[in-house]
């Protein structure tokens, strides 16, 4: 699936994180990647994050999955919406929907949430803290977009949903199959299904908050500190008041903190590992038994394709002498030579056939074996 016409450079310059944009079916050949029954099946599985929102006379009601299969066989008069988070982790056709949007760096991509709604179904007027492309898969949905919101925006009282109290639309469109609505962070929006069998794919992005960065980075640095690394003042001189914390003492204390946090190389390695952590840490994708290096070499020599686990996150940072640090699912791999080349190729797309001539490279075989053993890679084509 790819765009037949869409100017990504112009989009990034004029719209990305600036203002919403309606994109009328830009696909070469739009095909809905998931059927409603398949989505309902996912919502019944353990380990899949799902929600059901029903629009009743007294407001919206939220239920969390997994749901019993019989739940979707019951007649429901009130409009309802089923939401399944990270459907791309489980359905290769949904994961493929991310590819056209990779003009945004991979480390910024979160997941693809899929929604199904009956006529009048929706989740209410709200705003998110991330960019999202809302791709209409089946049916039609009316979207209304409002002004930019923030923490001071009044919300309706609700135990489960963050709904805007006074939503005033500034733009309105009806989307059909293949149409896309881009909504930047903070902009109010509200989507309501027009007719039954309305499916929307939300390609969401992530942006770490300053607070999360500081908290996580500082905790990592603190873990590296020795108990012997303490404040010293060997040049201490008498001061006029014993209760005063002097400016020189404060400067020295702050310097201890800032010096520890300012190591750029250490920050880069920490961030690469931190941002590649899996969305669902509890998910276990590891194979039943480790793969011997001899088997890896044999597969490579045969030109057997490798495919990435759609739930895995891959990224790399360039180092000196053409080496790279590869980060996969929170793990760090230092790669040089042929292994550095393969690491970059693995980050380029979901499927890779490694040059069979590298089958004899111990660093390449070792890297791939480690990634297979942790469940991030597998030989053979994805199901």
Third-level CATH fold of 8-205: Jelly Rolls (2.60.120)
What does the pLDDT look like over 324-369, one tens digit per residue? 999 999 999 999 999 999 999 999 999 999 999 999 999 999 999 9
> Which pLDDT value is given to residue 382?
63
Residues 207, 129 contacting (CB under 8 angstroms): yes
Say what the pLDDT of residue 75 is: 67
- Domain borders along the chain are 8-205, 210-223+244-262, 293-379
More confident residue, 279 or 58: 279
Share of the chain above pLDDT 90, in %: 94
Average pLDDT over the chain reads 95
Q: For domain 293-379, say whether CATH 3.40.366.30 is its number.
A: yes
Taking only the tens place, the pLDDT of each residue in 158-205 is 888 999 999 999 999 999 999 999 999 999 999 999 999 999 999 999
| pLDDT confidence tier of residue 82, bands split at 50, 70 and 90 | very high
pLDDT score, position 70: 86
Least confident of 52-61, 95-104, 305-314: 52-61
The span from the CA of 314 to the CA of 376, in Å, is 9
Tell me: the pLDDT tens digits for 111-160?
Answer: 999 999 999 999 999 999 999 999 999 999 999 999 999 999 999 998 88
At 228, is the pLDDT very low, low, confident or very high (cuts 50, 70, 90)? very high
Whether the per-residue pLDDT at 76 is higher than 90: the answer is no
pLDDT at 77 (0 to 100): 76
3-state SS, the chain, equals: CCECCCCHHHHHHHCCCCCCEEECCCECCCCCCCCHHHHHHHHCCCCCCEEEEEEECCEEEEEECCCCHHHHHCCCCCCEEEEECCHHHCCHHHHHHHHHHCCCCHHHEEEEEEEEECCCCCCCCECCCCCEEEEEEEEEEEEEEEEECCCCCCECCCCCCCCECCCCCCEEEEECCCCEEEECCCEEEEEEEEEEEEEEEEEEECCCCHHHHHHHHHHHHHHHCCCCCCCCCCCCCCCCCCCCCCHHHHHHHHHHHHHHHCCHHHHHHHHHHHHCCCCCCCCCCCCCCCCCHHHHHHHHHCCCCEEECCCCCEEEEECHHHCEEEEECCEEEEECCHHHHHHHHHHHCCEECCCHHHCCCHHHHHHHHHHHHCCCEEECCCC
Residue 1 has a pLDDT of: 77
Supply the pLDDT for residue 310.
96
**What's the rounded Cα separation, in Å, for the pair 331 and 374?**
9
pLDDT, tens digit, 9 for 90 and up, residues 27-48: 999 999 999 999 999 999 999 9
Predicted structure pTM score: 0.94
Q: Are 135 and 203 in contact (CB under 8 A)?
A: yes
């Amino acid at each position: 699936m790819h765009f037949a016409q869409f100017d990504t450079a112009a989009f990034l310059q004029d719209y990305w994180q600036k203002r919403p944009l309606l994109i009328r079916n830009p696909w070469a050949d739009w095909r809905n990647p998931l059927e409603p029954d398949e989505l309902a099946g996912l919502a019944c599985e353990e380990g899949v994050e799902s929600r059901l929102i029903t629009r009743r006379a007294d407001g919206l009601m939220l239920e969390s999955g997994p749901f019993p299969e019989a739940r979707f066989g019951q007649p429901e008069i009130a409009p309802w919406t089923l939401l399944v988070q990270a459907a791309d982790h489980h359905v290769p056709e949904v994961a493929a929907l991310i590819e056209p949007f990779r003009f945004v760096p991979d480390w910024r991509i979160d997941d693809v949430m899929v929604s199904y709604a009956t006529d009048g179904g929706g989740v209410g007027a709200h705003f998110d803290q991330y960019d999202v492309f809302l791709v209409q898969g089946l049916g039609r949905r009316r979207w209304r977009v409002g002004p930019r919101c923030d923490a001071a925006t009044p919300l309706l009282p609700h135990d489960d949903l963050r709904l805007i109290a006074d939503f005033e639309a500034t733009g309105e469109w009806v989307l059909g199959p293949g149409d896309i609505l881009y909504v930047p962070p903070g902009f109010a929006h509200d989507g309501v299904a027009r007719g039954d069998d309305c499916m929307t794919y939300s390609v969401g992005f992530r942006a770490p908050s300053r607070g999360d960065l500081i908290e996580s980075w500082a905790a990592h640095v603190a873990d590296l500190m020795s108990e012997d690394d303490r404040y010293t003042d060997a040049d201490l001189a008498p001061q006029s008041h014993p209760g005063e914390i002097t400016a020189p003492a404060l400067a020295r204390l702050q310097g201890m903190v800032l010096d520890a946090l300012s190591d750029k190389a250490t920050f880069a390695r920490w961030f690469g590992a931190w941002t590649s952590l899996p969305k669902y840490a509890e998910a276990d994708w590891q194979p039943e038994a480790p793969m011997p290096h001899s088997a890896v070499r044999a597969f490579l020599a045969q030109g057997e394709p490798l495919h990435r686990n759609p739930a895995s996150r891959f990224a790399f940072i360039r180092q000196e002498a053409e080496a790279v640090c590869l980060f996969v699912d929170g793990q760090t791999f230092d790669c040089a030579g042929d292994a550095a080349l393969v690491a970059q190729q693995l980050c380029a797309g979901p499927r890779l056939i490694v040059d069979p001539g590298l089958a004899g490279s111990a660093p390449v075989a070792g890297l791939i074996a480690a990634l297979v053993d942790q469940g991030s890679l597998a030989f053979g084509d994805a199901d």
